[in-house]
Amino acid sequence: MADDRPYSVVTVTREAGVVVAEIDNPPVNLIDRSLFRDLRRLVDEVGTDTDARVLVLRSANPDFFIAHYDVSAILQFPVDGPAQRSTTLNGFHALCEQLRTMPVPTICEIGGRVGGGGGELAASCDMRFGALGRTILCQMEVPLGILPGGTGTQRLPALVGRGRAMEIVLSGDDIDAETLAAWGWLNRVLPPGQLRAHVNALAARIASFPPEAVSRAKAAVLAASPDPTPGLIEEAYLFDETVRTDAARQRMENFLARGGQTPDGEGRVGALGAELG
């Protein structure tokens, strides 16, 4: 049975089979406990909703789609003892895998910045559309002394190729919309005033088709890719190793002290990462 309680930081609307989830977690749409809880509930509900035909993720904030995972929360991760390899996916990996494999097609409308865990979440969806001059991706983990631990090291090579994935991950720098479209991270990049209309029209078009055909077509496309579970488990282990280093803690604390997770700091997060040393 669906949970009828209101979402905390996500507004969900449904029309003609299209489920639209608008994220509004001021000031920069951090993935904190509230947003993570809402996203897990959303994916659980839509994935089993026989009336849902398409899921669209968008932001109420024109400047930020999803910034990244809350760095102050990462600093609270338990680090007693050495890192251990798990035999199962962690919570964030499981959420991203649900998005990737759910029978309902998923579309991200990315009108502003996205990075860190937000970039990984978007990369786990089926399609991503951006705005000329506004959409920016920054996988900003390595400058913080850690690594993209929410599927990024596994998703990016499949989307853009190994060399470009290395550039995105190791530089920790801003990648503009035009480059993202040329590399294949974005399906298309459109003028900002046309982005929403394009996403709405595409979602409505897909929702008008027989759902059995849509879900099976998605499953068939997914069958072309290998099982990502072993790579995700290794990513989680390596992430846990980096979190235990002194350099990571110092850089994450410096990131927060220099304005990380504020609108001004996040608006220049690529440049900020270069200042943390």
pLDDT averaged over 10-residue windows placed end to end, the chain, 277 residues: 74 97 98 97 96 98 97 96 96 98 98 98 98 98 98 97 98 98 98 98 98 98 96 98 97 97 97 94
Closest to 105 measured CA to CA, from 166, 5, 4, 187: 187
Host H or E run for residue 174: none
Q: Cα torsion for 58, 233, 139, 112, to the nearest 10°?
A: 0
Find the radius of gyration of the CA atoms of the chain: 18
Host H or E run for residue 101: helix 91-101
27 cis-preceded (ω within 30 degrees of 0): yes
Cα 181 to its chain centre, rounded Å, is 16
Host H or E run for residue 276: none
Closest to 21 measured CA to CA, from 132, 76, 99: 99
157 cis-preceded (ω within 30 degrees of 0): no
DSSP state of 68: -
Cβ-based neighbours of 65, under 8 Å, separated by 6 or more = 23, 29, 58, 59, 108, 109, 110, 111, 112, 113, 114, 118, 122, 135
Closest to 90 measured CA to CA, from 36, 159, 143, 53: 36
Q: Which two tokens stand for residue 201?
A: 């029209």
Number of residues in the chain: 277
Taking a C-beta distance cutoff of 8 angstroms, is the pair 187, 135 a contact?
Answer: no
For the chain, domain boundaries: 10-274
| Bridge pairing between strands 10-15 and 18-23 | antiparallel
Model pTM above 0.85:
yes
Site of tokens 């399609």: 127
- At residue 58, the 3 state secondary structure works out as strand
Q: Note the pLDDT of residue 236.
A: 98
- At residue 207, the 3 state secondary structure works out as helix
What is the architecture of the domain spanning 10-274? Answer: Alpha-Beta Complex (3.90)
Site of tokens 């449904």: 14
Instruction: Output the CA torsion sign for 199, 263, 274, 30.
Output: negative
Q: Which two tokens stand for residue 18?
A: 């299209």
- At residue 165, the 3 state secondary structure works out as helix
